Structures are given as C-alpha cells and as structure tokens.
Amino acid sequence: MVKPATTKLSSRGQVVIPEEIRKRLGLEPGAQFVVVGEGDVVVLKALKPPRMADFKALLDQAQQSAEAAGLTPDDVEQAIQEVRRESEGGPGHQRPDLRHLLRRRAAPNPRCVGRRPIRASAHPR
C-alpha cells in the first residue's frame, strides 16, 4: 500500500504534490489536472495527451464513414470552404453545422460515381 503524504494550501491557492508521488506518476512541471471537490475531499486527475495511435483510429473511422457516404476529398474541401464563407457573417450570425453540409453532399448523387474515395494518401496535408 502507498504511504499517504501531507501538503498544504499556499496563500496563492497552490498545492505542492510531494516529490515521491510526482516521480511515481511521472508528473513534470506544467502537467495539467482535472480538479474535483466534494465535501472535504479534493481529487486531482492528471490529464495525459492522447497517443497518436488514438488519432489514427479516429481518422480511420472517419475515412470509412466518408467512403460509405460516398464523399470525396473534393466534397469535404467544398464543405469546409462553405462553412468558412458562411461563418464570416456579422454579429449574431450562427455558425453553420459542417455535419449538415456533409450529409447534404452524401446524398446519392450521380456526380460521385467513379470518383475516388477519401483516403489518408489522397490528402497530402
């Protein structure tokens, strides 16, 4: 079992995490936390950046969905440009929903027949 440690709150609202805990958890200066307080309990949860493998899985899923919907790289680029144009409206202008624009483009459309599907290699970005 891990030995508990004590710390105190500074006048500036800062709490020092004991060195042993920082080392064991691999916490470096600048680490970010989610803080939850309830009653007399405060919980700090370290935020870890997602791994690149997580992004790849999400990208693969998005590409499969786009292919199934019949979207091409040109359709996606056109939808992005449309959103950018529409979002340049004046005060009170609501930003358009990109999903709505893409759904509109994903409807069965003869112009999509024979066009290349979206793939990671299709976009050099």
- Across the range 16-39, mean pLDDT stands at 94
pLDDT band at 70 (very low <50, low <70, confident <90, very high): confident
Q: Is the pLDDT of residue 19 over 90?
A: yes
Other Cβ atoms within 10 Å of 65 Cβ, number: 13
Partnered with residue 35 across adjacent β-strands are: 44
Q: Which CATH number fits domain 1-48: 2.10.260.10, 3.40.50.300, 3.30.750.200, 1.10.10.10?
A: 2.10.260.10
Other Cβ atoms within 10 Å of 76 Cβ, number: 19
**Is the Cα torsion angle 76, 78, 80, 86 positive or negative in sign?**
negative
Better pLDDT: 48 or 28: 28
Q: Where in the chain is the domain with CATH 2.10.260.10?
A: 1-48
- Helices in the chain by DSSP H: which ranges? 19-25, 52-69, 73-86, 98-106
Model confidence pLDDT, tens digit, residues 71-94: 888 888 888 888 888 777 655 556
**Is the Cα torsion angle 24, 27, 32, 38 positive or negative in sign?**
positive
Model confidence pLDDT, tens digit, residues 32-55: 999 999 999 999 999 988 788 888
Query: Are the beta carbons of 43 and 35 closer than 8 angstroms?
Result: yes
